[in-house]
Structure 1
Amino acid sequence: MREENRRLSITSEVITAATASRHLDDLLPVSLEKTLALLDFDLGGAYLVYPGSDLAHLRACVGEGHAPARVRRDEPPYRYVLVDGEARFVDRFQERYPGHDDPAIRSFAAVPIPGDDGPVGCIAVASRTRETIPEDERLILATIGEEIGSAVVKGMLLEELEAALASANRYLDEANAATEAVNLYVDILTHDINNANTAAMGYLYMILDSAEEPTREVIRKSLAAIYQSSDIIRNVSTIRRLMLEAAPLQLVRLEPVIRGMRNYYADARIVYEGSDATVLADDLISEVFANLIGNAVKFGGPDVEVTISVREEGEDRVAVTVADTGPGIPEDLKPRIFERKERGVTKKSGKGLGLSIVRMLAERYGGSVRTGDRVPGRPEEGAAITVTLPRYRPESG
């Protein structure tokens, strides 16, 4: 009974000290210190085995003497402990292992630390004075190894989680730094290209006034290419903002936005119908109409006519339709027209970004977009694209 009480008391002290910490760098040294002090050993080491490794690595060392930094799992005396999961006790150690690095060791014990799929490590202790390890101390050591197993496994999992989190944060920091660098380069490029485009358009318009055909036609084509370049830059900037910024919705009157786009495409024939309406959107809403009108003008040809109509749709929605007299949208393309890179059968250049941006913005505002025909059932007579947006109505009373 006395030996049983001693075993329970020592085990309890070691387990209480070990489980006071979640981190292995605290848990393992404390366990060893308690074990050595209570059982009168001189040297102790805690070894852990990590997945995919044939080595057990020293994670804690306490006492007088030197413990190897790593040991092979398949070499004695650790093979029995780390592979077979059996406690190993060696009396008269030098007689059994005469060539060991530490000739002062007289007795040695190693007990496994159990995990879910076998030993995850071991506790090893040694004495420089005692030739043998009594049976009751062997039971105590084996119990200590078993009892701290769950705490050690949790500590190893915590380390894996912390390492994974640190790695993820490192990659995230690197990705953020790369994104900031890319954004800086894009800002510089878009700024400089816009400046160059503005200057080029100014010079071309100056020449256009005094030029004669066919020079005027070449200048008009050059201006069209520059406008396309500006559209691409605007779309890239819009996509960046959509990806990087949230959408704090605000009140936006549609009529000034649409009239502003009509002025931008001053050379196109654009008719605006319907009354004004206030919707919930942000300052990117102009890109909806810039892309819809720009597509109609680009694909409709020089004689295209564009009609923009605004009407109420239900109690809380506003529908804006941009219709044109161009070639229309084939039936098989309509379900995919708002996907990126979908441009239909056309020789016109472009990456299919415009209508994709229209859909992204409409959804950003809690609305939707759909495609149809200017004349229902006759797609060859022109397209009609309708954007539905949430309408703002002031509260009455």
Structure 2
Amino acid sequence: MSEPLNVLLIGKSPGDLRAMLCECGRDVELIHCERSRDGLTRVSGGGVDVVLLDISGRRGTATLGRLRRAAPGVPVIILVAAKDDPAALHAMQNGAQDYLVKGKTDAELLNRAIRHALERTRVEAALRHSETMYRRLVENLNEGVIAVDETGLITFANPAMEEILGCPVERLVGSPVAWFIDPGSRDANLFCRTTDERQEFELDLLHCDGGHVHALVVTSPVTDETGRFQGSIAGIMDITERKRAEEEIRIRNEHLMVINQVTGVTAASLSLAGLLEESLEKTLELMRLDVGIVYMLDSERKRALLQHQNGLPESSLARHRLIKVHHWPFNFIFIAGQPRYIEQQADLNSIEAGILRELEVSALACIPLVAESVVVGAVYAGSRTKTSFSRDERALLETIGQEIGSGILKGMLHKKLEAANREANLYLDIMTHEIKNAENVSNLYTDLLLEVLEGEAALYARKIRSSIHRSAEILGNVTTIRRVHHDSPDVAPVDLSAVIREEAAAFPDVAIEVAEGTPARVWADDLLPEIFTNLIRNAVKFGGPEVRIAIRVEDYDGESVLVSVEDTGPGIPDPAKEVIFHRFERGWVGGYGDGLDLFVVRTLVEKYGGTIRVEDRVEGRPDLGTAFRFTLREVLPAGDDECPDSE
């Protein structure tokens, strides 16, 4: 307020106006134009802060109008002859900021009126600027904005609403908002409801081209100074594409769940019949279909036989139990291997219309089942409520058909594998039987030779007998491995002490010390003795006839026992300890050994739920012998001695 104040007086001066203006606290320049024409020229030229207009004459009111048009930003204070002059009220209604009564105005009143006029003009200018900025902002928003009065008429709409509804703004304004709201929208009544709260909801709007727009609407109430509801301002966002994308994601997730469940069925089914039945029922359940049939082609590939059905009308069961696949339209499915969709339509041929009628469905999907690139059958899935299948539903049904086909192929391969396994076992049984017979004959003749031969020839005969014995050991290990992999994994309580004593007695020429310990029963089967047989046999083979062996049993962790088989042989180097139990590892002395003995030991220990390791008999001295230590699960006291679940 330190700048000079330029005051323009138009008309006669009411007293000593200049002296009164000097008391306003600012430098004042008073410009006086007695004629209104001169005043209008002066104010149009700029540089005027306030106009004092004497309207006591006839032309006062007209001059005010011209002033507001010439300089709308300059405040005007009216000078009137009397307080009740009607011209004062008229002037205030037409843009004057204030009025003063000539002859009754002092310096304080004059200066206060000027200050108020300047401030009011500044506020009005700021408000106009704010309104302009707001209008520009609203008109340039990507989201729609409308104003609705208390009667439901649209009083304002921004350009974005024209794009959202496909209707010109000029037509929107003055129209009832209800015209553009889908009556079926759940929240349609919220749009114009009298409320003092902000609301957010979704609804369907009607586009002028006849389509629908799914919108997110945020409404805020408009009230007057008394708080009475005057209408609403609403922000509207077109979320049609977002909802479409969300729906597509939901459908895809649902389809993925269906495929995962059908895949689980095909992976877990143990028989072809179970696979077809469970996968069909799961498909109907998850896709909310009503009728399902699974066909399989016969060996001659001329007929398709019904394997399983769900929801098939009793009256059509006999008719659809067998299909001649070379007849149309079945050849399209079973011969060409192409999916066929039979749906209600105007040009539907009589044959396919008859199929729908017999199955009592309005849409039927016929999906071929393919295994190893060959059609082996088909799955039919029908609906009584749908008139057609969507593109996504067709893709899902075809994927399900592929999964069922993969399950059928897996079953076919499993049967082939079982047949090959049976054949291999047959050959192995024959070979084992014949080799054992050959070994018995060879042992007989070797014993006869040893009775008549002497010297070097007898030495060769003893080596032959040793090789025959080794062959028998290998054959025994192969038989054991076969039993481990093919026999039932069931275990039962076994007297461990008795097994150890019996196996030690089977080697009368070997020094075996069995330490007396707590009697123990462990979970095992009749192959448990093979562990001790192989460990003792290996100790003798690599330690020689002078080797000494010690066997001990001790508690391990309250649930298992620790068995140690120690020998005084040449020991095992540290690098070999890591691989000694692997199949076909060579022996560690003289490069001899087929590796089966210790592989069998590890396989059996792990079968019984234990672990095995190899250590030096004397720590840090591998040359003083080897210790094999393994755990076996102990049979616990009464109440806990039930056979544990086999893994």
* TM-score for both structures, normalised by structure 2: 0.39
- 315-324 or 199-208, which deviates more: 199-208
Rounded to whole Å, the distance in 2 between the matches of 1:297 and 1:283 is 23
Is residue 515–residue 553 contact of structure 2 (8 Å, CA) maintained in 1? yes
Assess, with a 3 A threshold, how the Cα gap between structure 1 residues 181 and 56 changes in structure 2: closer, same or farther: closer
Is residue 539–residue 567 contact of structure 2 (8 Å, CA) maintained in 1? yes
Q: Which residue of 1 aligns with 2:596?
A: 353
Q: Which residue of 2 aligns with 1:94?
A: none
State which of 303, 319, 338 in structure 1 corresponds to 2:546: 303
- 1:20 is the counterpart of 2:290: yes
State which of 413, 428, 448 in structure 2 corresponds to 1:171: 413
Rounded to whole Å, the distance in 1 between the matches of 2:491 and 2:522 is 9
Q: Which residue of 2 aligns with 1:316?
A: 559
Matches within 5 A, 1:1-397: 19-21=289-291, 57=338, 59=340, 63=349, 147-209=389-451, 211-275=453-517, 276-395=519-638
TM superposition shift of 1:380: 1.2
- 365-374 or 298-307, which deviates more: 298-307
Rounded to whole Å, the distance in 2 between the matches of 1:207 and 1:56 is 72
Is residue 368–residue 388 contact of structure 1 (8 Å, CA) maintained in 2? yes
- 175-184 or 258-267, which deviates more: 258-267
Deviations for 1:222-271, whole angstroms, at most 9, x for unmatched residues? 22211211111111111111212232211212233233333443443333
Q: Which residue of 1 aligns with 2:235?
A: none
Is residue 328–residue 382 contact of structure 1 (8 Å, CA) maintained in 2? yes
Q: Give 1:59's aligned amino acid.
A: R
TM superposition shift of 1:210: 5.3
Is residue 567–residue 625 contact of structure 2 (8 Å, CA) maintained in 1? yes
TM superposition shift of 1:57: 4.3
Q: Give 2:290's aligned amino acid.
A: A
Q: Which residue of 2 aligns with 1:70?
A: none
Alignment identity in percent? 34
Task: Give unpaired runs (5+ residues) of structure 1.
Answer: 5-17, 27-43, 50-54, 67-112, 114-142
Rounded to whole Å, the distance in 2 between the matches of 1:259 and 1:220 is 29
Q: Give 1:255's aligned amino acid.
A: S
Is residue 47–residue 57 contact of structure 1 (8 Å, CA) maintained in 2? no
Rounded to whole Å, the distance in 1 between the matches of 2:289 and 2:566 is 73
Is residue 45–residue 60 contact of structure 1 (8 Å, CA) maintained in 2? no
Is residue 339–residue 398 contact of structure 2 (8 Å, CA) maintained in 1? no
Task: Give unpaired runs (5+ residues) of structure 2.
Answer: 1-209, 211-287, 296-308, 310-327, 343-347, 353-364, 366-385, 640-647
Is residue 520–residue 634 contact of structure 2 (8 Å, CA) maintained in 1? yes
Rounded to whole Å, the distance in 2 between the matches of 1:383 and 1:19 is 69
TM superposition shift of 1:162: 1.6
Rounded to whole Å, the distance in 1 between the matches of 2:528 and 2:619 is 27
TM superposition shift of 1:60: 6.2
Deviations for 1:47-91, whole angstroms, at most 9, x for unmatched residues? 999xxxxx994736862699xxxxxxxxxxxxxxxxxxxxxxxxx
- Secondary structure of 1:373 counterpart: strand
Rounded to whole Å, the distance in 2 between the matches of 1:184 and 1:46 is 44
Rounded to whole Å, the distance in 2 between the matches of 1:46 and 1:212 is 85
Rounded to whole Å, the distance in 2 between the matches of 1:218 and 1:187 is 31
- Secondary structure of 1:320 counterpart: strand
- Secondary structure of 1:336 counterpart: coil
Rounded to whole Å, the distance in 1 between the matches of 2:510 and 2:438 is 24
Assess, with a 3 A threshold, how the Cα gap between structure 1 residues 307 and 206 changes in structure 2: closer, same or farther: farther
Is residue 271–residue 307 contact of structure 1 (8 Å, CA) maintained in 2? yes
Assess, with a 3 A threshold, how the Cα gap between structure 1 residues 378 and 198 changes in structure 2: closer, same or farther: same
TM superposition shift of 1:327: 1.5
Q: Give 1:355's aligned amino acid.
A: L
Rounded to whole Å, the distance in 2 between the matches of 1:201 and 1:56 is 64
Deviations for 1:247-298, whole angstroms, at most 9, x for unmatched residues? 2211212233233333443443333322443221100101111111121122
Rounded to whole Å, the distance in 2 between the matches of 1:209 and 1:203 is 10
Rounded to whole Å, the distance in 1 between the matches of 2:484 and 2:494 is 18
**Larger Rg, first or second structure (1 or 2):** 2
Rounded to whole Å, the distance in 1 between the matches of 2:436 and 2:520 is 32
TM superposition shift of 1:376: 1.8
TM superposition shift of 1:144: 6.2
Q: Give 1:325's aligned amino acid.
A: T
Deviations for 1:121-145, whole angstroms, at most 9, x for unmatched residues? xxxxxxxxxxxxxxxxxxxxxx966
Assess, with a 3 A threshold, how the Cα gap between structure 1 residues 45 and 285 changes in structure 2: closer, same or farther: closer
Deviations for 1:360-387, whole angstroms, at most 9, x for unmatched residues? 2112112211111122210011111012
- Secondary structure of 1:179 counterpart: helix
Note the aligned Cα RMSD (angstroms): 3.5
Q: Larger helix proportion, structure 1 or 2? A: 1
Assess, with a 3 A threshold, how the Cα gap between structure 1 residues 22 and 304 changes in structure 2: closer, same or farther: same
TM superposition shift of 1:317: 2.6
Assess, with a 3 A threshold, how the Cα gap between structure 1 residues 154 and 255 changes in structure 2: closer, same or farther: same
Assess, with a 3 A threshold, how the Cα gap between structure 1 residues 268 and 24 changes in structure 2: closer, same or farther: closer
- 310-319 or 177-186, which deviates more: 310-319
Rounded to whole Å, the distance in 2 between the matches of 1:269 and 1:220 is 23
Assess, with a 3 A threshold, how the Cα gap between structure 1 residues 242 and 256 changes in structure 2: closer, same or farther: same
TM superposition shift of 1:22: 5.3
Rounded to whole Å, the distance in 1 between the matches of 2:439 and 2:294 is 63
Larger relative contact order (CA 8 Å, sep ≥ 6): 1
Rounded to whole Å, the distance in 2 between the matches of 1:202 and 1:46 is 71
TM superposition shift of 1:177: 0.3
Consecutive aligned runs of 4 or more in structure 1 exceeding 4 Å deviation? 22-26, 44-49, 55-58
Rounded to whole Å, the distance in 1 between the matches of 2:332 and 2:594 is 56
